[in-house]
């Protein structure tokens, strides 16, 4: 894949992303935004905290041109395309360099404060059945571009940087994939990771305050506005009629998508606007559920998804997510039999994993990490377990999502008997300070609070102190095998592995 200088100039000028272009007649044979990825023939995008003094090294490694903000132009003799929006420029150039692979994929984008990953895996499994394994996935947990293990990658962002995203899309198309399901975060829109990308179907699951802080969204209004950008970039929309701020959401969606391209879903008998399709649980237990889907109105009857479905995940919030996945996949070619098969087998690594011990009760491992998800998880446990004491082990990340810390405390205050406040990717912040902020919101005097910042020790103590009728919830980290500490990914056993090991040790 090669781009000429004229190609790049035209691409950026057409998008009003170009301030000036260099006199340059070379050919670009590689793209990078990380200096460690530079090879001969590279066009390097200068973004983030890249320092001018690094330029000498990247030139030695083979960078032949850069796309940079104005302050870099006078600092190097490298041919420079000057742009006031380098991340957007990177997206536009990357999709061209990789041959616009999105045009060869039926693309589903999923956003929401909670449930993106679970919904993505549901849609992925449905489409695996419908397409005979020709579906790619981009999720918080992993990226899948082909059926062989070598095409399964660990994810580092909910939505990848644009250059990585289009590279993976190209790999997926080359591997014969015809569909792709991807999580789309508010940060993906804010940081231009999906600039210029359109979705065949966009799913909007829900919205509640989250990701508000110095390094993310300054206000909830900003968070909501960036979430709703999915409406601006989707051909059809699947929208939760039970979501908070539904009036604002439907009003914005209607500005961009015709009514026959907006599909509403909701819970049967819920106090919500009329939906096109409703779900109602008929049976639920700790390991799964059975629910009915009912279509309402002429438009919805074209879906042909009415009927009973078995979901290998518990909780009405997961049934809601399942219906969203069903509608979206139906719009890109799946049928009801594929939905039956996909939902029956879907597993989300690190989500609602349950370990039943002999003498220390039940242990749940889940990625729940904010008020909405932790409160829903604790409520589910209360409703479906005979609980003597409910213990939560939880922390919050440093340098991001500061607004979620009081929410975590509130959820604990409402649903737990015991809490162990611990570390969860503290980064450059003091984990004690983070724990202080969570603890300040635990206003229920009946909740017993322990502080143990070594996460492995906290989990060990929580399980050892649990009785046979107790439940221990390990929240937020799931199968993550590292802790982010001072900019370093520090190896960590992962919550599920720690729980299994402790349970095994306690039996001897």
The annotation places the binding site for ATP at 112-118
Tell me the C-alpha distance between 288 and 81, whole Å: 54
Q: How far is CA 81 from CA 163, 166, 281, 292, 363, in A?
A: 17, 21, 56, 56, 54
Known binding-site positions: 35, 112-118, 158-159, 185, 193
- Cα angle vertex 415, ends 414, 421, to 5°? 95
Find out whether 156 and 425 touch, Cβ atoms under 8 Å: no
Given the structure tokens 């009405």, which residue do they identify? Answer: 316
Do residues 274 and 264 lie in contact, with contact meaning Cβ atoms separated by under 8 Å? yes
DSSP H or E run through 397: none
Residues facing 488 on adjacent strands: 485
Within its chain, how far is the Cα of 223 from the centroid?
15
Give ∠ CA 79-82-88 in degrees, rounded to 5.
120
* Token pair belonging to 308: 């009973």
Q: Which long-range contacts (CB under 8 A, 24 or more apart) does 256-260 make?
A: 256/231, 256/232, 257/231, 260/299
CA distance 136 to 173: 9
Residue 61: partners with Cβ closer than 8 Å, 6 or more residues away: 35, 38, 39, 40, 42
CA 42, chain centre distance (Å): 30
């Amino acid at each position: 894949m090669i781009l000429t200088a004229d190609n790049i100039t035209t691409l950026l000028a057409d998008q009003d992303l170009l301030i000036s272009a260099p006199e340059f007649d070379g050919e670009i044979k590689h793209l990078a935004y990380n200096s460690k990825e530079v090879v001969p023939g590279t066009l390097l995008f200068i973004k983030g905290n890249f320092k001018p003094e690094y330029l000498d090294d990247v030139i030695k490694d083979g960078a032949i041109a850069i796309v940079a903000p104005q302050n870099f132009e006078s600092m190097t003799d490298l041919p420079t395309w000057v742009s006031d929006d380098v991340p957007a420029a990177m997206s536009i150039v990357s999709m061209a360099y990789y041959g616009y692979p999105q045009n060869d994929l039926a693309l589903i984008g999923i956003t929401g404060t909670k449930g993106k990953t679970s919904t993505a895996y549901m849609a992925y499994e449905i489409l695996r059945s419908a397409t005979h394994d020709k579906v790619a996935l981009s999720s918080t947990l992993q990226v899948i571009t082909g059926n062989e293990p070598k095409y399964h990658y660990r994810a580092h962002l909910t939505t990848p940087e644009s250059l990585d995203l289009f590279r993976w899309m190209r790999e997926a198309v080359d591997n014969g994939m015809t569909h792709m399901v991807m999580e789309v975060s508010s940060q993906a829109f804010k940081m231009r990771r999906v600039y210029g990308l359109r979705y065949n179907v966009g799913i909007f699951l829900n919205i509640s305050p989250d990701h508000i802080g110095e390094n993310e969204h300054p206000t909830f209004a900003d968070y909501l506005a960036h979430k709703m950008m999915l409406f601006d970039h989707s051909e059809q929309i699947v929208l939760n009629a039970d979501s908070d701020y539904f009036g604002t959401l439907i009003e914005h969606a209607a500005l961009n998508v015709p009514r026959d391209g907006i599909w509403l879903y909701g819970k049967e008998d819920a106090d919500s606007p009329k939906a096109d399709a409703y779900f109602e649980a008929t049976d639920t237990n700790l390991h799964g559920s059975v629910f009915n889907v009912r279509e309402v109105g002429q438009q919805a009857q074209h879906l042909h998804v009415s009927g009973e479905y078995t979901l290998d995940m518990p909780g009405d919030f997961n049934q809601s997510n399942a219906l969203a996945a069903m509608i979206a996949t139906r719009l890109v070619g799946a049928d009801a039999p594929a939905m039956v098969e996909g939902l029956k087998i879907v597993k989300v690594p690190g989500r609602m994993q349950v370990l039943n011990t002999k003498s220390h009760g039940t242990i749940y491992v889940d990625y729940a990490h904010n008020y909405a998800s932790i409160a829903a998880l604790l409520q589910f446990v209360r409703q479906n377990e005979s609980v003597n004491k409910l213990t939560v082990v939880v922390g919050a990340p440093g340098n991001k999502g500061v607004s979620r810390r009081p929410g975590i405390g509130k959820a604990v205050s409402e649903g737990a008997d015991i809490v162990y406040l611990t570390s969860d990717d503290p980064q450059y912040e003091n984990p004690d300070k983070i724990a202080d902020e969570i603890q300040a919101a635990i206003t229920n005097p009946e909740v017993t609070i322990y502080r143990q910042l070594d996460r492995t020790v906290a989990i060990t103590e929580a399980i050892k102190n649990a009785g046979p009728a107790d439940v221990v919830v390990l929240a937020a980290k799931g199968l993550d095998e590292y802790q982010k500490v001072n900019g370093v990914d520090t190896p960590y056993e992962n919550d599920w592995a720690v729980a299994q090991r402790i349970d095994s040790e306690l039996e001897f």
